[in-house]
Amino acid sequence: MFNILQWNMHGYYNNFHELDILIKEYAPSFISLQETNLAAGKSATAPNQYQSYFYNLPQNLTSKRGIAILIKKSTPHKQIPVSSNIATIAIEISLSFQFSIISLYIPPSQNFSCSDLINIFRTISTPFIIVGDFNAWSPLWGSATTNIRGSMIEDLVFSENLIILNDNKPTHFSTHKTFTTVDLTICSSNIAPKLTTNTLSHLHGSDHYPILTSLSTPFTSKSPQKPRFIIGKANWDMFGTTASRLCADRPCTPNISREVATITKIIRISAHLSIPQTNPKVHKKIAPHWSSELSQLRSEKRFLWTEYKRTRSNSNLMLYKKANAIFRKKLKQSKRECLNKFSESINHQTNPKRAWSDIKRLSGTNPQSHITSINSAHGPIVDHKQIANHFAKYWSNYSHDSNFHPTFLSEKNKYLNSSSKSSPATSSITDCKINNIEFESTLSSLSGRTPGADRISYPMLQHLPPCMKTRLLMLYNNILSQGTFPQAWKHAVVVPIPKSGNPSTETSGFRPISLLNCLGKLLEKIIARRISWHAVTNNSMSPQQMAYKDGQSTIDALLLFENHASSALANRNHLSALSIDFEKAFDREPTLYYGNSKNGALVAIF
pLDDT tens figures, 198-247: 999 998 989 999 999 999 876 555 566 788 999 999 999 999 999 999 99
> How large is the average pLDDT for residues 330-352?
85
Say what the pLDDT of residue 585 is.
Answer: 64
Distance CA 415, CA 519 (A): 29
Q: Are residues 102 and 165 in the same domain?
A: yes
pLDDT band, very low/low/confident/very high, at 532 (cuts 50, 70, 90): confident
Q: Are residues 355 and 296 in the same domain?
A: yes
Q: Are residues 28 and 89 in the same domain?
A: yes
> pLDDT over 70 for what percent of the chain?
90
Q: Is the pLDDT of residue 601 over 50?
A: no
Say what the pLDDT of residue 53 is.
Answer: 95
Domain-located, residue 107: yes
Say what the pLDDT of residue 426 is.
Answer: 55
Say what the pLDDT of residue 380 is.
Answer: 79
C-alpha closest to that of 60 among 79, 88, 80, 87? 87
Distance CA 597, CA 426 (A): 11
C-alpha closest to that of 216 among 1, 485, 473? 1
Distance CA 78, CA 99 (A): 11
Q: Which residue has the higher pLDDT, 290 or 258?
A: 258
Distance CA 495, CA 453 (A): 12
Beta strands 2-8 and 493-498 are unpaired
Q: Are residues 106 and 208 in the same domain?
A: yes
DSSP bridge pairs for 198? 212
> How large is the average pLDDT for residues 465-481?
94
Q: Are residues 342 and 456 in the same domain?
A: no
Domain-located, residue 461: yes
Secondary element (H or E) of residue 31: strand 30-34
Query: Whole-number mean pLDDT of the chain?
Result: 86
Say what the pLDDT of residue 275 is.
Answer: 95
CATH number of the structural domain spanning residue 147 = 3.60.10.10
Domain-located, residue 473: yes
pLDDT band, very low/low/confident/very high, at 281 (cuts 50, 70, 90): low
Using the 3D structure, point to which of 325, 360, 395 is the last residue of a domain: 360
> How large is the average pLDDT for residues 515-541?
88
> How large is the average pLDDT for residues 170-179?
88
Domain-located, residue 442: yes
Do 271 and 493 meet the contact criterion of CB atoms below 8 Å apart?
no
pLDDT band, very low/low/confident/very high, at 454 (cuts 50, 70, 90): very high
Q: Are residues 403 and 466 in the same domain?
A: yes
Say what the pLDDT of residue 506 is.
Answer: 85
Q: Are residues 68 and 210 in the same domain?
A: yes
Q: Is the pLDDT of residue 44 over 70?
A: yes
C-alpha closest to that of 175 among 207, 210, 201, 138? 207
62-84 pLDDT, tens per residue? 778 899 999 998 888 899 999 99
Residue 345 φ then ψ, to 5°: -85, -10
Q: Which residue has the higher pLDDT, 87 or 349?
A: 87
Q: Is the pLDDT of residue 575 over 70?
A: yes
Q: Which of 339-348, 464-473, 597-606 has the highest mean pLDDT?
A: 464-473
The whole domain housing 18 covers 2-215
Q: Are residues 8 and 150 in the same domain?
A: yes
Domain-located, residue 244: no
> How large is the average pLDDT for residues 34-51?
89
C-alpha closest to that of 9 among 21, 24, 22, 19? 19
Say what the pLDDT of residue 600 is.
Answer: 35
Q: Are residues 430 and 461 in the same domain?
A: yes
Say what the pLDDT of residue 598 is.
Answer: 39
Say what the pLDDT of residue 41 is.
Answer: 85
Q: Are residues 419 and 517 in the same domain?
A: yes
Q: Are residues 518 and 600 in the same domain?
A: yes
Q: Are residues 435 and 501 in the same domain?
A: yes
DSSP bridge pairs for 515? 493
Domain-located, residue 258: no
Q: Which residue has the higher pLDDT, 61 or 93?
A: 93
Say what the pLDDT of residue 327 is.
Answer: 92
Q: Is the pLDDT of residue 128 over 90?
A: yes
Tell me the HSE value of 106 on the side-chain side, using a 13 A CA sphere: 24
Q: Which residue has the higher pLDDT, 416 or 75?
A: 75
Domain-located, residue 496: yes
Angle at CA of residue 586, ends 580 and 587, nearest 5°: 120
Q: Comparing 253-262, 350-359, 372-381, which segment has the lowest mean pLDDT?
A: 350-359
Name the pTM for this structure.
0.67
Say what the pLDDT of residue 602 is.
Answer: 33
Say what the pLDDT of residue 419 is.
Answer: 54
Q: How many domains does the chain have?
A: 3
Domain-located, residue 264: no
